[in-house]
Amino acid sequence: MFESNDTFVEDAVKVVETAADTAKRTGLIAITMSLLCATVVLTGTLKLIVTILLIINGILTIIVVTNKNIEYEYDYTNGSLEIAKIIDNSKRKTILNIEPSEVKLVAAVGTNDALRYDHVKLKKYDCSAHNPDEKDYILVGHSEAKGDDFKVIFTPSEKLLNAMSKYNKNELYIN
């Protein structure tokens, strides 16, 4: 029988809508409706300006309302982590690829190890579920190709963390 030492873990988390997301969507809808009413009442040049604003705000509102179903997919293969964003179960965009040699730290958010990087200016990728019931982790890495140091906030499963510990024992701080 053929045995493989390859490690592959696929994990997906659905982003929970925050109160700020709901407020943003509600505000955009209210502004769009107000501009629509204003175009009916106004005349002349002011009506033209409000109509242009209505079109711009309407397009922005459609984009925000239709892109509310977001998932992040974590694919971990032999030490390499690929994070992709999936919008409305149809559009898939790769956010970043992280090689095991690029990882400096993986720790739970809020721990002493993670807090060392709280006030450090790094390029930040928020790929977490925003779910208070799940534990978020921070991954800090260094890559010349990505523009030096970066940090990723993500929500891995226990299976993914165990797979990562196989390739990054010294950089992984799991509590």
Cβ atoms 105, 143 nearer than 8 A: no
Convert the pLDDT of each residue in 136-158 to its tens digit: 999 988 887 766 788 999 999 99
Cβ atoms 86, 170 nearer than 8 A: no
Convert the pLDDT of each residue in 38-92 to its tens digit: 999 988 899 999 999 999 999 999 988 887 889 999 999 988 999 999 988 888 9
pLDDT of residue 2: 47
pLDDT of residue 170: 72
d(CA 123, CA 139): 12
Cβ atoms 100, 166 nearer than 8 A: no
**Burial class of residue 127 (count of CB atoms within 10 Å of its CB; 0-12, 13-18, 19+):** buried
